[in-house]
Structures are given as C-alpha cells and as structure tokens.
Amino acid sequence: RASGPVSGAFTGSLLHVEVIVQTQVRTALVPAQSSLAAVRARGVAGAQPLNNGYAVMALDRGNTPNALSVQAGGSVNLNGGGILVNSTSSTAANNQGGSISVEPYPPYGTDVSGNVSGTWPHASTGRQQLPDPFAGYPKPSTNGLPVYTSLVGTTLNPGVYDVSIAASGGTTLTLNSGIYILRAGMGASGNADIVAGPGGVFLFNTNANYPASGGGCGSVSLVGNAVSTLLPMTTGTYANLLFYQDPECTNAFTIAGNGTLTASGTIYVPNGAVVFNGNDATLTGSQLVAKTVEVQNGNVNITFSAGTTAQPIVPALAE
C-alpha cells in the first residue's frame, strides 16, 4: 500500500506495510446450512530504527581478555547510555584502577557476557551476547565522487582520497560537508586541527583498492596536540554516523598524546580497536561501537542520545 497502513500506530508510515487477510470458514459452532463465518487477520511489518541504549559497545564475541579495558590513568564517564561487552572472558571488562561512571541508572549499566575484573558501576555479568547492530550497514558508493591524490589547500571537499587527510604543525584542515572515502587513512599531529564544516561529514576508512578488496587499510590517528572537532551529517543514509571503518580493516582508531577530540554521532570500528592514550575525548550525543576499546590514559566523556546517534533500520513485525 503506497500510503502505508491505514490504521494503528503506524498509520501512513511509508516504512511499514499493512497486510490484511480475510476469508470465510466453517466452524463447529456454525450450522452447515448457515452462512460461513468471516475471519480477518491483520499484521503490520516494516523497517524500524534499532536503539539499544549502549553508549559503548565492545563487540568481540570470543573469549578475549580486556575487550574493554581502562588503565589507572584513564577515566570513562557515560551519561544517558550504558556499556556492553560481548567477550566471554573472565576479564572481559578489566578496570585496572581507572575511574568509571555510568549515569543515570537504570536502565543501562555495565552488561558483560563474561566477567569483570576491578570495579565497574552497575555490573551485570553472564549476559547474553548481542549482535553487532550495524552488521551489513551499506558501504558508500564511489560513483560520482572526485578522486584526490593530493591535498589542495586547507579546505577539503567530499570525495575519494588516495592521500591521507593529514595535518601537522599549526595547520587547520576544514572538511566541507559530505562523504569522505579514505583509502589512505587520516591523521593529525603537532598542533594541527581537523574540523568539520557546517552540515557535518561522513568518514569511511577503507582499503586502498576500494570498492574492490585488498590493498591494505590506512590508519586513523589523532596524536600530538591535535584538536579535532568532527560532527556527522544529520540526513541521508549515513545520518548521525560520523565514522565507519570497513570491516575488512583491522587498524586501530587512535587518540594519543595531548590531542583532543570533540565529536558527536556514532563511531563504528567493527574489526578494530579504539585506543585512547591522550588528554580528552568529549563525545556529545554520541556512541562508540568497536571490536575492542582500550583507555590507557586521559578522559573519555560520552553523552549518549538516541536522537543524535546512528540508528540502523531493521525489519521487524510491528503490530
């Protein structure tokens, strides 16, 4: 039905389909000479946003120690969302003396499939593993995008980059709004800054031969005194998804030195680690989803909001 369901909670929704089946049946309660009884069944199914409520997700489903680790020099402060650790290890979540807070509570605390080591707020162990909420998320197309083999100036435009989007010294790189396919990684060092212009960006880190496979993946590293302010686009397929690393890539997303990252939206590194070994990362209205997460040093502050994080659309029976 082009106009969506005509009744119920999803009336008019173009993301849902209403199916009505009606037939005539005989039952033991209806005499044979009487009219048949009409039986009607109705169902509504469609594509709905998935909101799991976790600000930090460590996806590794193996018996992996330290899938989420916080060392003595690190702190993690979450507001509005909880922690999920899929590892079944006895030290799946390992706090080695760091500071961790998860507020408000309930409904979400620290949910771990294995066990915890050290002190974790509102810890619940032996939990069922949850699937990767972004598994199968579409990769961006290269069609129509310009290909850049060098950086021209300090204001960059969307496209396919065969050169690392990298800044050093006191340079500030400004990324105009749009999709950036990184075939050589991204980095900042020294006193360099990388900032997203109005409208936000979508960053896809992938291999050198993309959209074909192979060729190796570039690293994403913000080190030194780099200050990066990155905001996602808010419309389209990649709305509120700031950073997506190709599942083929196992590189770490690293923030180190005295660098700072201010960002919103979802950071998704399905087969790599996110490593914090720096000063500050402030993720507002954000979510961190990675294979493993390691906080060696510095402060990680995340305010989770379903409205400003990527919500994958999944098929589901709605009514």
pLDDT at residue 56 in the model: 95
DSSP 307: G
- For residues 56 and 293, the answer to whether their CB atoms sit within 8 Å is yes
Low-confidence residues of the chain, pLDDT below 50?
A: 1-2
- Nearest C-alpha neighbor of 195 from the set 219, 235, 222: 222
- Nearest C-alpha neighbor of 177 from the set 138, 259, 235: 235
- Residue 196 in tokens: 């997203």
DSSP string, 133-147: TTTTPPPPP-TT--E
- For residues 165 and 186, the answer to whether their CB atoms sit within 8 Å is yes
Beta pairing, strands 116-117 & 201-205? unpaired
Return the residue matching tokens 């993946």.
217
The Cα 208–Cα 187 span in angstroms is 16
Return the SS3 of 306. helix
pLDDT in tens, 21-57: 877 766 655 555 555 667 778 877 766 656 578 999 9
- For residues 26 and 37, the answer to whether their CB atoms sit within 8 Å is yes
Q: Per the confidence metrics, is the pTM higher than 0.75?
A: yes
pLDDT at residue 91 in the model: 98
- Residue 104 in tokens: 């408000």
- For residues 16 and 316, the answer to whether their CB atoms sit within 8 Å is no
Q: How far is CA 43 from the centre of its chain?
A: 31
Q: How far is CA 318 from the centre of its chain?
A: 24
pLDDT in tens, 177-217: 999 999 999 988 777 788 999 999 999 999 999 999 989 99
- For residues 96 and 71, the answer to whether their CB atoms sit within 8 Å is yes
Please, what is the average pLDDT of the chain? 88
pLDDT at residue 26 in the model: 65
Other CB atoms within 10 A of residue 171 CB: 15
- Residue 158 in tokens: 């969307």
pLDDT at residue 158 in the model: 98
- For residues 90 and 113, the answer to whether their CB atoms sit within 8 Å is no
Beta strands in 37-176 (DSSP E): 37-49, 54-58, 68-79, 82-85, 93-95, 99-103, 110-112, 116-117, 123-124, 147-148, 155-156, 159-161, 165-167, 172-175
String of b and e for 174-201 (b: at least 16 CB within 10 Å)?
ebeebbbbbbbbbbbbebbbbebeeebb
- Nearest C-alpha neighbor of 305 from the set 103, 54, 49, 83: 54
